[in-house]
Amino acid sequence: MTSKHFLNGKIVDEKDLLISPRDLGYLRGYAVFDFLKTYGGKPFKLKEHIDRLYHSAELVGMSVPWSKEQVIQWIEETMAANEAGEKFIKIVLSGGKSGDLLMHGEPTIIIMVDPAVIYPETYFKDGVALIAIKHERYNCHAKSNNYIEGVKRSMEAQETGGHEPLYYNDDQVFEGATSNVFILQGGKLKTPKSNILAGITRETLLEILDLDVPVSVEDFTLDTLLEAEEIFTTGSGKEIVPVVKVNDTVIGDGKVGPLTREVTRQFRDYTLSGKWQEKRETFS
């Protein structure tokens, strides 16, 4: 059975997951999205992801005519149309068909449901390398489809043996192309505070972690990051990814550190526990 998806009110097969070339998302890049994973067949932190989707739409000036409860219902219907098993879910809102730069009706809504990707065990056992790139994302608080720099830099990183690019400027480290970043440095576990997309995995860790070191939300420079004892990135798909090298700098002893392993353990225990499942009556 192939994956079933949702497009503008209908459940469709992969071959029918089609939009007009005149859609503002395709033609002008005017679109936002969110992405999440299931655990035990249930979408992880669904309310938080939907809140962030609507916030992204607000930040780019896109009006969404449907309630959050309606979008959740469509997600559940699309999930039910697919075979059992853990899934990746991607919700996209784009500007809809247009002959100019303006929206002239409802946005296009797409809900894609695919089998969850199993990432190579070497990522988690041996760690990965990041390539630091001087770049500041436009409208960084919105999860938009503007990934030109992300695609370009990710291909460059792959060509040079890196897992993904890490964005920074003279003042601070921001985030990875598809992840948030944490470092163990100066006796604290730190994650950037400013000019980043608020990742749901990042927020979950800030909520649940019980460590022997304090967890601090504060900005830091690339030089500080390169002095870190441990680094890891976080994201909905890959969860916790240890980083053992940034550019030509080996982090710590070049191996996955004990704190990173403990963070991974606590996050996986939390996702498997089901404690994150909560009522959805309240939306922000």
Q: What pLDDT is stored for residue 61 in this prediction?
A: 96
What does the pLDDT look like over 56-78, one tens digit per residue?
Answer: 999 999 999 999 999 999 999 99
* 278 band by pLDDT with thresholds 50, 70 and 90: low
pLDDT class for 282, splitting at 50, 70, 90? Answer: low
Q: Which residue type sits at 157?
A: A
Residue 283 clears pLDDT 80, i.e. is over it? no
Q: Is the pLDDT of residue 279 over 70?
A: no
> So what's the pLDDT on residue 47?
95
Q: What is the mean pLDDT of residues 229-257?
A: 97
Mean pLDDT of 152-170: 89
Q: Supply the mean pLDDT for the chain.
A: 94
pLDDT for residue 253: 96
Residue 140 pLDDT more than 80?
yes
Mean pLDDT along residues 192-206: 97
To the nearest whole percent, how much of the chain has pLDDT over 90? 86
Query: Over 70: is that where the pLDDT of 281 sits?
Result: no
Angle at 184 between CA 234 and CA 37, to 5 degrees: 10
Q: What gap in Å lies between CA 17 and CA 134, rounded to an integer?
A: 36
Residue 49 predicted with pLDDT over 80: yes
Average pLDDT over residues 258-281: 87
4-115: CATH class: alpha beta
**What's the average model confidence in pLDDT over 73-98?**
96
Per residue in 175-190, pLDDT (tens digit) is: 999 999 999 999 999 9
The pLDDT assigned to 159 comes to 86
What is the three-state SS of the chain?
A: CCCEEEECCEEEEHHHCCCCCCEHHHHCCCEEEEEEEEECCEECCHHHHHHHHHHHHHHCCCCCCCCHHHHHHHHHHHHHCCCCCCEEEEEEEECCECCCCCCCCCCEEEEEEEECCCCCHHHHHHCEEEEEEECCCCCCCCCECCCHHHHHHHHHHHHCCCCEEEEECCCCEEEECCEEEEEEECCEEEECCCCCCCCHHHHHHHHHCCCCCCEEECCCCHHHHHCCCEEEEEECCCEEEEEEEECCEECCCCCCCHHHHHHHHHHHHHHHHCCCCCCCCCCC
Mean pLDDT of 4-16: 97
- Which stretch of 88-97, 243-252, 266-275 has the lowest confidence by average pLDDT? 266-275
CATH topology of domain 121-272: D-amino Acid Aminotransferase; Chain A, domain 2 (3.20.10)
Q: Where are the domains of the chain?
A: 4-115, 121-272
- The pLDDT of 30-53, averaged and rounded, is 97
Average pLDDT over every residue of 189-210: 97
What is the rounded average pLDDT of the residues 144-159? 89
